[in-house]
């Protein structure tokens, strides 16, 4: 199964763990990564992920997040097709620029799931599912905790 992780989930283990939600999402992320390492999941990376991770100010955090990203089996580079899809998502569905680029990269990488901790993006789950289905390949947008339940058949 191919998955695409939004930048925010890569950063969860390095966020302040005092909130239960953040702690649970960090644990879920590490379990997802374990499945990637064990080749049960295939992680897709993208140029927009590399760009956003490259902007992390804390050097140690940036290196550790980059190490996780290096586990990806495929990288989606910016193309005219990615721009076409992201522009359509921005104009028709009011997605923000980087969010639209992430969805487009996940789509082009044929990810079955795009996993994010972004509540505003998760509010558009049906929009993204419908849009990607119209484009020819449906992506399911989900948070990391819910994704683990799907993975475990719950």
CA-based nearest residue to 8, from 57, 39, 71, 52: 52
Minimum mean pLDDT range among 7-11, 91-95, 103-107, 143-147: 91-95
Render pLDDT for 66-106 as a digit per residue (tens, 0 to 9): 999 999 999 999 889 999 999 998 888 888 889 999 999 99
Mean pLDDT value across residues 57-69: 96
Judged by DSSP in three states, 75 sits in strand
Indicate whether 33 pLDDT > 90: yes
**Looking at residue 129, what is its pLDDT?**
83
**Looking at residue 125, what is its pLDDT?**
81
Q: What is the CATH number of domain 2-151?
A: 3.40.50.1010
Cα–Cα distance, 140 to 133 (Å, whole number): 10
Indicate whether 60 pLDDT > 90: yes
Question: Domain locations in the chain?
Answer: 2-151
The mean pLDDT of the chain is 93
Indicate whether 1 pLDDT > 90: yes
Render pLDDT for 100-142 as a digit per residue (tens, 0 to 9): 999 999 999 999 999 999 998 898 888 888 888 888 888 899 9
**Looking at residue 136, what is its pLDDT?**
83
Cβ burial 94-109 (10 Å sphere, 16+ → b, else e): ebeeebbbbbbbbbbb
First to last CA, the chain: 17
**Looking at residue 23, what is its pLDDT?**
97
Q: Which single residue is written with the structure tokens 């996993």? A: 115
**Looking at residue 118, what is its pLDDT?**
92
Is there a contact between 113 and 140 (Cβ–Cβ < 8 Å)? yes
Could you give the percent of the chain with pLDDT greater than 90? 77
Mean pLDDT value across residues 52-57: 96
Cα–Cα distance, 146 to 154 (Å, whole number): 9
**Looking at residue 127, what is its pLDDT?**
83
Expressed in percent and rounded to 5, the helix, strand and coil fractions of the chain are: 60, 10, 25
């Amino acid at each position: 199964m191919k998955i695409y992780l939004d930048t925010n989930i890569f950063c969860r283990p390095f966020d302040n763990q005092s909130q239960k939600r953040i702690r649970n999402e960090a644990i879920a992320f590490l379990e997802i990564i374990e499945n990637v390492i064990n080749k049960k999941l295939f992680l897709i990376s993208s140029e927009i992920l590399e760009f956003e991770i490259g902007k992390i100010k804390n050097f140690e955090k940036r290196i550790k997040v980059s190490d996780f990203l290096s586990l990806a089996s495929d990288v989606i580079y910016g193309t005219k097709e990615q721009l076409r899809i992201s522009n359509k998502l921005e104009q028709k569905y009011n997605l923000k620029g980087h969010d639209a680029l992430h969805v487009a990269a996940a789509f082009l990488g044929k990810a079955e799931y795009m996993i994010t901790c972004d509540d505003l993006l998760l509010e558009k789950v049906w929009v993204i599912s419908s849009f990607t289905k119209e484009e020819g390949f449906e992506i399911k947008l989900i948070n990391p905790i819910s994704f683990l339940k799907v993975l475990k058949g719950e």
